[in-house]
Structure 1
Amino acid sequence: MISSENLSWTYDELVCLNLVRGKTPGGVLRHYAAAPSQAWIMTRQQADREFGHHPDSGTVLRAGLAGSWSFCLENWEPVGFGPGILERLSSGTDAIHYLRNPQGGDLVEHLRDGDIVQSFELGVPGPLPRQAAPLGLAEAFRRGVSTRPYGDDGYDEIWAVLSDLTGVPLDDGLVNGPLPTVLRRNPHV
């Protein structure tokens, strides 16, 4: 299991991440309507300096590859759950969406070929699906973080479980290191 001491990024106020099996980071950026040709290789610190924090201008997308999964982290104004994006990301494959809202709530969704296989909010009790989903996200999360009450700050444990399920070590080194980075402008700007 990934060490929780290497997951400090998971405590950020807002975390929006999509994992996609078998697609390239450039392909993932195109599904966001962002041009991979405009991406610069930047560390997270460089991206923060370059783009600042101007939520009205858009969101910073940082994409990468870990094993057979590509991922896209969004800073400031998440769009990865917007109309059609998750469906496009999961077309012909699996996609996992995670959103932690600063006002509360941790949503996890598993999509396959445009359809939702599982969708649940962490810490909210509810019945498990009658048939276990192939990745078994809800079951693994409930086992791995079942001791945490709703609203507890066990984000490092959440990501340790997700890393084990997918084999994607989304630790501080990967997330904060050099990745293709692009500003996806808001359509109304």
Structure 2
Amino acid sequence: MDLGSNPWEWATDSRYPVFCLTFTRGSTPDAVLGAYGVAPGQAAIRTQAESGALLPRGGGGTLLRVGTLAENWVYCYEDLEPEGLKPTVMARLSQGTETVRVFKGADGLRTLDHYRDGRRTESVELSTTPVVRGEGPHTLASALRQALGAIPATASSSGSAPSVLLLGLDVAGRYVGGVLDAQTLRGPLLTAFLPDADRAPLRPVRSPPTGSPSQTTAAADAAAAKPGRPLGVLPPAPRSPGSHPS
């Protein structure tokens, strides 16, 4: 499929300093929003300009914009504080299927990730010498290496080589069979705002087993922190019968 010369050019625009873009196979827009934590009925069709009215004045939260791509892929775009970076969200999205994610960070980090049935199979740091992690198969990483290898040496030396971020997006686009262009991104899409109160924790919270050392330590710390006693100082041990004060 011909994806054009630079169909992802918007991704390098300074107006998009941060974004997270996921593609999930065989899902629906409502199901994808649900995996991000959006309650049913909370989304509506809005343009990019209209979506700004959903943002609170104090900041926080994330704006999710969802649509369909190719025959059976659903994408979700966000550019505030991405929810799609969280492993729990990616596990829900890819459960029973697969999800591809492209992330662009304000600190210069760019990654291409692939999840299958709740597990990350590959994570590629988008650079001229890609760093690849994950149990495999490394399908996207292999395609990225081929794209990098096809760049003429003259282009690399003259600085006219394409952005590795654009190459990563092109690899993702060819894998799912389509592109998300600037016109679509600005147009009407199913949109929902996810407030901080409804967001998933960055890491899963696991309760320790009853009676475990961590619970015992926590109970001791709580007892030591009662009013009238310095924090972290336990009460003196009781004297045994017949003992005398020293």
Instruction: Using structure 2 for the length normalisation, give the TM-score.
Output: 0.66
Residue of structure 2 in register with 1:157 after alignment: 167
Q: 1:27 aligns with which of 20, 24, 31?
A: 31
Question: Identity across aligned pairs (percent)?
Answer: 30
Which one has the bigger strand percentage? 1
Residue of structure 1 in register with 2:42 after alignment: 38
Q: 1:184 aligns with which of 194, 201, 207?
A: 194
Q: 1:98 aligns to what SS in structure 2? A: strand
Structure 1 residues 7 and 127: CA distance shift in structure 2, 3 A: closer
Measured after TM superposition, the shift of residue 40 of structure 1 is 1.5
Find the aligned partners of 1:171 and 1:142 in 2 and give their Cα distance.
24
Q: 2:18 aligns with which of 5, 14, 18?
A: 14
Give the conservation status (yes or no) of the 8 Å contact 1:24–1:70.
Answer: yes
Measured after TM superposition, the shift of residue 64 of structure 1 is 0.8
Instruction: Using structure 1 for the length normalisation, give the TM-score.
Output: 0.84
Q: Which has the larger radius of gyration?
A: 2
Structure 1 residues 44 and 188: CA distance shift in structure 2, 3 A: closer
Deviating more after overlay: 27-36 vs 136-145: 136-145
The one-letter code of the counterpart of 1:29 is: L
Residue of structure 2 in register with 1:175 after alignment: 185
Find the aligned partners of 2:110 and 2:67 in 1 and give their Cα distance.
22
The one-letter code of the counterpart of 1:173 is: Q
Q: 1:65 aligns with which of 52, 65, 68?
A: 68
Greater relative contact order: 1 or 2 (C-alpha under 8 angstroms, separation 6 or more)? 1
Q: 2:96 aligns to what SS in structure 1? A: coil
Unpaired runs of 5+ residues, structure 1, are none
Find the aligned partners of 2:126 and 2:112 in 1 and give their Cα distance.
7
Q: Deviations over 1:12-48 (max 9, x none)?
A: 2111011100000110000011124111211112213
Find the aligned partners of 2:193 and 2:122 in 1 and give their Cα distance.
30
Structure 1 residues 102 and 167: CA distance shift in structure 2, 3 A: same
Deviating more after overlay: 91-100 vs 157-166: 157-166
Q: Deviations over 1:68-120 (max 9, x none)?
A: 11011112111112241000000000111221111011111101001111112
The one-letter code of the counterpart of 2:197 is: P
Between the two proteins, the alignment pairs up a number of residues equal to 184
Measured after TM superposition, the shift of residue 57 of structure 1 is 2.9
Residue of structure 1 in register with 2:125 after alignment: 121
Give the conservation status (yes or no) of the 8 Å contact 2:121–2:137.
Answer: no
Give the conservation status (yes or no) of the 8 Å contact 1:23–1:69.
Answer: yes
Structure 1 residues 129 and 76: CA distance shift in structure 2, 3 A: closer
The one-letter code of the counterpart of 1:63 is: V
Q: Deviations over 1:113-167 (max 9, x none)?
A: 011111120114446889644xx11111222245479xx8443333223211210
